[in-house]
Amino acid sequence: MTSIRVDVVLPCLNEAQALPWILQRMPAGYRAIVVDNGSTDGSADIARALGAEVVHETRRGFGAAAHAGLLAATAPIVAFCDADASMDPRDLPLVVDPVAQDDADLVLGRRRPTTRNAWPPHARLANTYLSWRLRRITGVNIHDLGPMRAARRDHLLALDLHDRRSGYPLEMFLGAAAADWRIREVDTGYAPRVGRSKVTGTVRGTLTAIHDMSALLRVSSAVRNEIDDSPRRNDSDASGNAARASRIGDRS
């Protein structure tokens, strides 16, 4: 396990039931940043009482909460994890260590259900289709756009992410792929969440996520075609990669 400082961003909307379990299982040396996104069940007070850093984000949306946490982070490496107890914080070193050891720039947790009912069929089907499209668009061998992930804070800020809804994790991946980051997947556990899901646990939430992500995919495909059709140039330097990544966010 790495000794480098790590901040863990936990977007939170009414997760009072799950937070104690989540925060008590945070690895040593990992600071939890709970981003309260308008909870009405005392989530922020519970998180604060358990020693977490609490940030309030009034603008509703997963991306708004996730980005507020990224801005509040001060550690060199930032990890993201759902706050609903569907993922075990003890798996966080699996996504953090390759980044800390400079073996990868972005590590995604590939969810492996621990029980049959952990992953609703409609959500799993949507994720399978999305992953297939991402492999075709980016050439990255990805199988799950998992919410548990880690990267260096300065690299994430350089992506200049714009989405503040369900498309934030996708925009991060697309920006990283466009910037030629080293992207890896590692297996992580996935259990039934505690409480009611706001996104993939409901058909309506899944459809909303699909809508948000489809817009980003269209933009990514357009940018890729533009790059393929343009004259050959050296895009391997940092400024060239950053420009390619920012085009996705600028058009979303």
pLDDT in the model for residue 235: 45
pLDDT score recorded for residue 195:
67
| Close Cβ partners of 10 (under 8 Å, ≥ 6 residues apart) | 22, 32, 33, 34, 35, 47, 52, 69, 80, 81, 82, 83
Q: For residue 166, what are the contacts with CB-CB under 8 A and spacing of at least 6? A: 61, 62, 63, 199, 208, 209, 212, 213
The per-residue pLDDT for 219 is 61
pLDDT of residue 233: 43
Residue 75 CB coordination number (10 Å): 17
What integer pLDDT is reported at residue 236 of this predicted model? 45
The pLDDT of residue 3: 80
**Mean pLDDT for back-to-back runs of 10 residues, the chain (252 residues):** 89 98 98 98 98 98 98 99 97 99 99 90 88 94 96 99 94 97 98 70 60 65 50 47 53 49
pLDDT (0 to 100) of residue 230:
47
CA of residue 147 relative to chain centroid, distance: 4
What is the predicted pLDDT for the residue at 116? 84
Using CA atoms, how far residue 140 sits from 74, 137, 182, 205, 208, in Å, is 29, 8, 9, 26, 25
The domains located in the chain, with CATH, are 6-251 (3.90.550.10)
**pLDDT for position 123:** 86
pLDDT at residue number 203: 60
